[in-house]
Amino acid sequence: MNPALSVIFFTTASGAGYGMLVTLGLAALLGQLPQHLWFSLVTMVVALGLITAGLLSSTFHLGHPERAWRAFSQWRSSWLSREGIMAVATYMPALGFGLAWAFPNLITVPLGIVGVGAALFALGTIYTTAMIYRSLKPIHQWHNKHVVGCYLVLGVMTGAVFVLALSSLFGQRIVYLTPICGLLLAAGLSVKWLYWAFIDSTTASSTPASAVGLSGPNVKVTSVEWPHTEANYVMKEMGFQVARKHATRLRQIAIWAGFLLPAIALETSILLPADLGTWLTIPAALVMAIGIVAERWLFFAQAKHTVTLYYGAGTA
């Protein structure tokens, strides 16, 4: 599939923002959320800013962005519509949580309860985003059991590391969050590794033979004439191909930058004096962001639509 930058930014930025809400909500429930005005305001602005910027960027890939509002009406059958509804609905508990956290003397509500509400809505939105891709049967690399797990774990992982970096910046480091981030980075690498192993070792059940209604172990179908003589929208969007050597290199970047280097930096920060260790969390978050962008680019670039079988592809 064509890895549009707008969609890559949407899934990574909004996923990190929702992951921040999950992290903050659980910290509030456990009573581990620091009461610091500027830390709370900046953290919530970053979280909601990432979510909003991601959602807005997702409309750039539409042929008619002005019609995006129509997606909300198809919630009975469309995961895209459900995602839009969940994304808008999440703003209410998120804003309530942010105000209750920043101004506890003015808004006297149980912070843990509103925090859990924001976290659940955030997780629900990440889930609906993942299901947009998981539900697409013609794309074997998306229609599998690993996609939802990858989106959920990577979203919470990136959000937790961002919260840790911001808490270090304001001198409000949350207790136990550093080892938790290390565990999330390990979990993120594990689920992504399983996903890559799956797409490397399996192919779609559809073949050029089944695409034209033939079957049998000895049936072989090859194209003698292309459906089109010039490039078209289908091939531009559905027939994008990434060279194996480039995919391997990008996968290595995703592994090292997205998971291993941040984990090493965070574990090192525990061993260093507090003043030095806290500053390692900031480059860890920045490097992780680069790795996750590479991971998400591959997620789209390596997806092959069944329609490519009509254009000479051996497998989908």
pLDDT over 90 at 228, yes or no: no
- Averaged pLDDT, 274-282: 82
Any domain includes 145: yes
Q: Which domain holds residue 46?
A: 5-311
Query: 3-state DSSP call for residue 263?
Result: helix
Q: Which of 157, 131, 115 lies closest to 12, judged by CA?
A: 157
What pLDDT, on a 0 to 100 scale, did the predictor assign at position 66? Answer: 67
Q: Count of residues for the chain?
A: 316
Report if residue 167 sits inside a domain. yes
Higher pLDDT, 134 or 61: 134
Q: What angle do the packed helices 37-58 and 79-102 form, to 10 degrees?
A: 160
**215: pLDDT strictly greater than 80:** no
pTM for the complete prediction?
A: 0.94
Residue range 82-89: mean pLDDT, rounded: 96
For residue 63, the model assigns a pLDDT of: 67
CATH number of the domain encompassing residue 307: 1.20.1630.10
The answer to whether residue 316 sits within a structural domain is no
- The reported pLDDT for the residue numbered 278 is 80
In angstroms, rounded to a whole number, what is the distance separating the alpha carbons of residues 38 and 29?
20
Average pLDDT, whole number, for the chain? 91
Q: In total, how many domains does the chain have? A: 1
Residue 83 to residues 58, 74, 115, 228: CA-CA distances in angstroms? 12, 11, 20, 35
Q: Largest alpha-carbon pair distance within the chain?
A: 75
User: Rounded to whole angstroms, what are the CA distances from 163 to 27, 111, 159, 276?
Assistant: 11, 17, 6, 18
Work out the average pLDDT over 144-166: 98
